[in-house]
Structure 1
């Protein structure tokens, strides 16, 4: 890749700065003001370089962005108030941030997309009450359900996804219930984007029964957009997951999920599509392997299963070619391995992972392509550092895509 030397230089510079810097303060307990009031400060940041190389574009994208979040949560007698601001600075902006008109371009900028626009916004502003077995939260808040496959905060991107909502959570023994009513999805695209938020009526219901080693969750997600009506849908399904210890530190992990999705409210396209996911893995002495199959079905090529509230980067390849499911649907056959390497000099807690994906359509069995993903994470002087790579080899969908990331973060 043309930027291999740049990557090496940036990696050395980042590690050198981290070694020279004082150790990051460990996130501690909230500050006790008096017997009844505590204040928990929120200070965190993430510096990232992202490089994108796509064959159908003449100019590679290079984004250097810095994200900061700052705020505080005050708590007294179970009642809490949280306020948090979020800002992203585009230090190097040779990328398409998806906002028309930025940097003088009236249309799309002549680079590949990196969806981290420069941005300053109110990320969260919420009030909550926590009882012995229940909690109610109202306001702009983070909502992550299960593994974030259907509802998440899009935590990989610099600007976080939150919701203007009221949320109730309760847990009695092995039974838990989580219900959210939201009127607005606050997206990752920033305050200057026409897609800054999508309003509507969203009911997100999730109930689980956890009896080790098995946890079964049922869910119902009804999304009624005001304007984004092509993504209005009703989804009902379940997720079963767990881990079985085998002795000697070994264990087997499993996951199985099924859901059906249909059009809802103002969606002009009538369809019914299924979702299937099955995954089996094993781990021993810091090493892990997994293999799985995920299907986002299609109704005869008319429309496909969509997950518009999900943390999509975590699924179907880090190159992000399938953020919107093609009309013919998607079948993802994947396998991966991971290892906890440990310490190597100043590099602490090293972890590595590699994942392979083979993509096909659900309808007509079209060969979309394949992808390799790899990551290496470690801490230097208390600062987490992450190096990631994704390479998508296109067949009948998208274009050959290579992505490279290097980031360092802190949290107090």
Structure 2
């Protein structure tokens, strides 16, 4: 009840501070997005990972709604529904455990319902909303999955000082990708929503060489399930990201980030661990080369859990990181080091269509401690913008385990996707 009153009070305060709306016409913007996807998963490994057959999922996702705005005020409402046309897969909550997981359960929900006050120096958003911070390594909308992750939150973005942005969010609930069937069939660690008192704070400053960001993420997963409470953490860190033109057709890009994480709130585990990321990219005309390193460290002296505990990012858009086969959505207790290199090529136009982008990425996964080589992964993708509304994608991921299974879910895994997206 207190959280509901807080949101209501924040809404009233934002309206009071804004003053009367400008004398402008009411504007309506419709929202229509659709995605048809085929995903297949071939996974082999020791019991209980060995599946009787491959997973095959054909799913259709539709989002529809609209935004009404007048002056600096706007109200947005958006519904989301996912339908499984081929159900031969384990959605994570449908009980079909003989198949590998394809985390796109059937679902119908209110995806976003928000009130917003927006001016050039200040944006205040209250309600169920999409939140993507920086590269989404810590907080994101999980846009790759059919069901989006949104947050019941109050978010304040202030840009009143040149080159400076202050972005602070207080979220009382994360609406997960597991949808209305979350928690069914014994999947208690896959709930429809995760309640808590979460604070996401970013302060960024733009310089000629790039953007420097300091951040603090306080995650409080206030749930009875121990596996969820273990995700409660406090993370403090910084990142620097920028690009430097070397000539008309050559550009160097760079990223460096460091963070320290420890237990927070009701987490029964006592631990602390480091996060490190570094990446260099070189754009040469239509080609781009990328190389990087990411560490999610492990604390071997963690108390309250056997075998150590590692750096976790439960609200991230995890599919973007550590390989598209999604083998490291939960960081193993021994941590992970991800060495990766990639290349892409862009064709600006193919007739009236374009751009077409072809990319390839290689990952080598090692543990942070105990010198374990988990495995290697090869990822490839081709995307095509067909016209202003339609786009297409084909994608492949091949994870090859090395030696014995080193963590829960460690198995040779091959995934293939084909999809069409429509946006109004």
The answer to whether TM tops 0.5 is: yes
- Tell me the secondary structure at the aligned position of residue 343 of structure 1: coil
Mapped pair 1:226 → 2:238: no
- 1:335 — aligned with what? 341
What does the per-residue CA deviation read over 1:335-389, in whole Å, with 9 as the maximum and x for residues that have no partner? Answer: 0001102434575321100000000000112010000000001133552000000
Question: Which whole-Å CA distance do the structure 2 matches of 1:217 and 1:381 have between them?
Answer: 35
- CA shift, 1:58, in A, is 2.3
Count of residues in correspondence between the two structures: 373
Write the mapping of 1:387-402 to structure 2, written as runs, cut at 5 A: 387-395=394-402, 396-397=405-406, 398-402=410-414
Question: Which whole-Å CA distance do the structure 1 matches of 2:385 and 2:143 have between them?
Answer: 19
- 2:197 — aligned with what? 201
- 2:155 — aligned with what? 167
Q: Are the equivalent residues in 1 in contact too, given 2:116–2:125 (CA < 8 A)?
A: yes
- CA shift, 1:265, in A, is 1.4
Write the mapping of 1:73-112 to structure 2, written as runs, cut at 5 A: 73-99=67-93, 102=94, 107-112=95-100
- 2:127 — aligned with what? 139
- Tell me the secondary structure at the aligned position of residue 313 of structure 1: helix
- Tell me the secondary structure at the aligned position of residue 310 of structure 2: coil
- 1:254 — aligned with what? 254
Structure 2 residue corresponding to 1:128, chosen from 116, 122, 135: 116
What does the per-residue CA deviation read over 1:141-184, in whole Å, with 9 as the maximum and x for residues that have no partner? Answer: 00000000000000000000000000000112111000000000
For the aligned residues, what is the CA RMSD? Answer: 1.3
Question: Which whole-Å CA distance do the structure 1 matches of 2:411 and 2:71 have between them?
Answer: 55
**Structure 1 segments unaligned to the other structure (5+ residues):** 1-33
Higher relative contact order structure (alpha carbons within 8 Å, sequence separation ≥ 6): 1
Question: Which whole-Å CA distance do the structure 2 matches of 1:264 and 1:144 have between them?
Answer: 22
- CA shift, 1:126, in A, is 0.2
What TM-score does the superposition give when structure 2 sets the normalisation length?
0.86
**Structure 2 segments unaligned to the other structure (5+ residues):** 1-22, 45-49, 184-190, 301-306
After superposing on structure 2, the runs of 4+ consecutive aligned residues of structure 1 that deviate more than 4 Å are none
Would you tell me which structure has more strand in proportion to its own residues?
1
- 1:15 — aligned with what? none
What TM-score does the superposition give when structure 1 sets the normalisation length?
0.89
- 2:311 — aligned with what? 305
Question: Which whole-Å CA distance do the structure 2 matches of 1:199 and 1:381 have between them?
Answer: 40
Question: Which whole-Å CA distance do the structure 2 matches of 1:344 and 1:163 have between them?
Answer: 39
- 2:373 — aligned with what? 367
Question: Which whole-Å CA distance do the structure 2 matches of 1:380 and 1:305 have between them?
Answer: 40
